[in-house]
Chain A
Amino acid sequence: MESFIKIAYFLTIILFIFGLKRMSSPATARSGIVWAGVAMLVAVMATFFWPGLQNIALILVATITGGAAAWVSGKKVEMTDMPQMVAIYNGMGGGSAAGIAAVELLRGDIHSSGILTLSVVGGLIGALAFSGSMVAFAKLQGIIGGRPITFPKQQLINVILFVLAVISGIGLVVGDGGATMITIFFLLVLAFGIGVTLPIGGADMPVVISLFNALTGMAVGFEGFAMDNAAMIVAGTVVGAAGTLLTQMMAKAMNRSITQVLFGAFGQEEEGGAADGIEGSLKPIEGDDAAIMMGYASKIIIVSGYGMAVAQAQHKVREMADLLQEKGVEVKYAIHPVAGRMPGHMNVLLAEAGVPYEQLFDLEEINAEFSTADVALVIGANDVVNPRAKTERSSPIYGMPVLDVENAKNVLVIKRGKGTGFAGIENELFYRDQTRMLYGDAQAVVSDLIQQIKQI
């Protein structure tokens, strides 16, 4: 019986690795997840035959209810809300690893201090990823604001929490444990996870989620070592390594370092919302004027952001672009690496609306072209077109690569209201002389523009 499970796990790991490999190329990506899904099913089925497994009814109920809850929420969620769903499911995995550690520690039948250490470390990382991911979810979902939440002595408090958590973890390894000690340990780690994520701004969230993803992978790997479970060891470690690399690549795409992301908000408690030093005013424009401006342009670059996605305006945007192209206008889409909420998110959304890949351009490819564009149409994007990221050292987004929209002859901005972007900072671009504002829901505004363009 045991060797049957080992063979199943072996198969699972091989399928996981091939699945992951296939997922890293657009052409084979879809089949990759299916392979990995089959592998998971094999592993779970095999585990039901684990020798001496009790509480089978309990396991079945937990698997079915948990799986059903995730299935329903995962199917229902809008494409725009995907990033926070990744965060929440990732947090669940971390919580699960921490739960395993808690059960093992409570049982107290691990006698090797080496294995005990692995279990405690896995529990620590898992619980950290759990509470951190929950905060990330709450920020992206808008339950708590996307802005960095800072308060005095925050860094000191986090350090103290971490040190106390490590000390109680050591206590669990050398001491004789006990429910109280285990509870204190996990509470400290959970608090640390919250404390460390709160000050991170919304714009940096993708990197943080990716980091927590890698951490959960490591936690799973550690618990795998503690439980002598090869599938968990290999899958967890593979994700830990892959996730770390992915985190670095994402951070690089945003021109941020991991340390900047994690500790960037500390020590700068200035209110980013103030429009200090910005001259000029916000100048609204009517739909018909905007339509004429676009209809007679020879080149338009569309910069779409999260606001477009929220308004589900991507289909209307494509319709408008088609219309403009019929009139002989050259239309290109500029895709910021983190447009939407995550790298690649906007590509997915525009692909969904049927925009051809050939019209999508990366930041590096398109930035030089803004100076030759008659109109840059910014739809629900804010922080990624903020010129201050290039000039203002004190700005929270300083150093993040931005689209050089201000080089276009005219800038049209479709915006829901006068509020700030996700990073919570004012955008100088909107006050420039060549900029005109179209206020309203992106879908409604673009529908109106389509009607107006048809009339010219």
Chain B
Amino acid sequence: MDFVLYLGKKFLLTVILLLGIALITFSLTKALPGDPALALVGQRASPATIAAIRKQIGADKPFLVQYVDYVKMISRGELGRSYFTRREVLDELKQKFPNTMRLALLAMALALPAGLALGFWAAMERGRPLGEALNSISIVGISVPVFFSGLLIMLFASLELKLFPPAGTGGAEFLILPAITLSLPSIATLSKVSRTSALEVMGLPFIKTARAKGISEFRVIAVHIFRNAIIPIVTVAGLDFGSYLNGAVLTETIFGWDGIGRYSVEGVMRRDYPVVLGTVLAGTVTFIVINMLVDIAYHVLDPRVRVYGR
């Protein structure tokens, strides 16, 4: 019952948050210089045509009316049509969202084991030169922008070694390089958190007890330390996964991957308001849903945490 209440409260907050996000995005798109009507028909169109187009896309109404119209439309489950392709934004999102998801899932599938392994290794080697070096790697990971690491990866794996196609959308061969690029900063943050978390657990008395009982070192690490250190790591992994939309904006642009990151940049650059609004809302919903899943995972992993009790 508590849990249902918790979910209900979260849902309500989500709706309010989305209205707020829609308002900010909406205000921003209205502040954008350049007239979408002009952009649609070109500079040489007659004033009458431009006025007609403006009326058609609703740009002649007052700001608040436009916002209310927009919210009404969203509540009907629509996101409007792109000014340029005239296609439904929702349909485009349905087509592109799975592409971004595939990219994000593969990136996380690479980042989680790599980050955990690096972090735990660094924790075991603490105080020794190797541990320090491993720790520095994690700072390197967050210091290299994805558009640069992406270019380097493209240069070596694709232009030099000709292992994979440099850019495009399609099967697994197109997916590998952008996924590796996207996973790099994530590996860095995950290894940092894993190290801190593992070190914290390693200092607790029950680990000493486990060792004193004569349990093998492997079992101590794999079962006793790992199970207890994993909880904060799950949170960070979830947050990271949510932030992949941010990373995807650049990664997808570089690798020409047909997902919502690239779609949103194109929307902003072409002043295609329905596209901008649609992608931002979709991104925010994804972010919130992932956060909720993390909360639930927390509950499963650690019975002490009763998030919904508070």
Q: Do A and B actually bind?
A: no
A positions within 8 Å CB-CB of B: none
